[in-house]
Structure 1
Amino acid sequence: MTDADSPSPDVAKTGSPVVMVVAWLWVAVPFLYGLYQLAEKSSKLFE
């Protein structure tokens, strides 16, 4: 086996694009909901 046949060690292997989308949504949706709640509650402090 030559160097050209083996994968480069610094290349990260990624999974399916569907898995990546689900993973991002798994993190982004609760984060954005938390930001929404923070903005809603903090705006009431300044009324």
Structure 2
Amino acid sequence: MSHPASTAGDQPTTHTPTGLIAFAWALVGVPLAYGLYNTIKAASALFG
């Protein structure tokens, strides 16, 4: 007995608030940008 492949229409749609998405990106992006900045600054001191 086989089941037909599920499509996107079978799943209920969910809505994630835009503010929550922006907060999550900031929570990850700010420390990442800070770490990259410090890495590039340290590398330029070594090679510059």
Same fold (TM over 0.5): yes
Unaligned runs of 5+ in 2: 1-8
**Residue identity matched to 1:41:** A
Q: Secondary structure at the match of 2:10?
A: coil
Q: TM-score, normalised by structure 1?
A: 0.69
Higher helix share: 2
Unpaired segments ≥5 residues, structure 1: 1-6
**Partners in 2 of 1:21 and 1:37 — Cα distance?**
24
1:40 equivalenced with 2:45 (yes/no): no
Look up the match of 1:3: none
TM-score by length of 2: 0.68
The whole-number CA distance in structure 1 between the counterparts of 2:18 and 2:25 is 11
RMSD (Å), alpha carbons? 2.0
Distance 1:14 1:41 in 2: 42
* Identity fraction in percent: 31
